[in-house]
Amino acid sequence: MKSGGGSCSPRARPAPQPGLKNTWETPVFLPIESIGDGARKLTAIQRNWHLHSEENHRRASLIQEKLPHVSEKPRHFGEAAPTAPLGSWTLWEPNLILASARCSSPFPDGVVQFHENKIDPPSRAYLKLWESFTLLPKRPGPGDLCLDLGSAPGGWTWVLASLGAQVFSIDKAPLAPQVDHMPGVSHCIGSGFALDPRHAGAVDWLFSDMICYPDKLYEVICRWIELGSCRNFVCTLKFQAETDHATAAKFAAIPGSRLMHLSCNKHELTWAKLEQ
């Protein structure tokens, strides 16, 4: 399972822009003469549009009503992300639309809504992994060994075990009983920071939703990357009173990384690095 060593050294790249759920990548202004004219000009560009209403709400909603319907219903976990382009638009002035046919997220305003499981998982933290695996190109499955650092009460461990993976979970607190008894789950009482990758051996995935300073998590992750002890990572960067932009930029600069602000992230970001 062991892969070659890596590096945490930053690569040359533009300054990252974390914390944005959705970026309008091709914004243009469209002068319009009427509600119908606005709808025609948008549909002339493409079919699917989402209204992000900031001003002129009533007039904007009348334009949106004339556009083809785009479903915004909650999704079941496991459904693939939409592939059809979804543009965003707003009525900048009564007769001026600001629209972007191409956006960074295939979901309206970058928000992914799920039919939640309010029975089995011990916390709502599981939604972070559901959304991450919806946006990322792969997820763990049978035969994969996952390490979940700071796992209690077990929301992330519950997701990983539900996918059929083997999960080694570590936390100073116990897992919720319904998670601890799941097939494939092994829990160890201890600190996620104290686990030395040289002694733990190679794993396919490393996960962390630990409450800790991002710079401390960065040190932990770099040890695993430099030793080549893990192929895939998904971790939460939890900020204190102020966002640690410097450390967020260091995470974003790790080769092969992706930094996301998920719908259920509060004052935090989700960082992922997947083996290509």
DSSP alpha helix (H) spans, the chain: 35-45, 57-65, 126-135, 155-162, 177-180, 197-200, 214-226, 245-252
**Strand 185-189 relative to strand 166-171: parallel, antiparallel, unpaired?**
parallel
Phi, psi (rounded to 5 degrees) for 105: -115, 140
Biggest CA-to-CA distance, the chain = 69
Whether 238 is catalytic is yes
- Residue 269 token pair: 């970001």
E-strand stretches of 23-110: 27-31, 49-51, 87-93, 96-100
Query: Of 230, 249, 156, which Cα lies nearest the Cα of 1?
Result: 230
Selecting among 2, 73, 238, 250, the annotated active-site residue is 238
Task: Specify the residue for token string 């100073």.
Answer: 172
Tell me which residues are annotated as active site.
Answer: 238
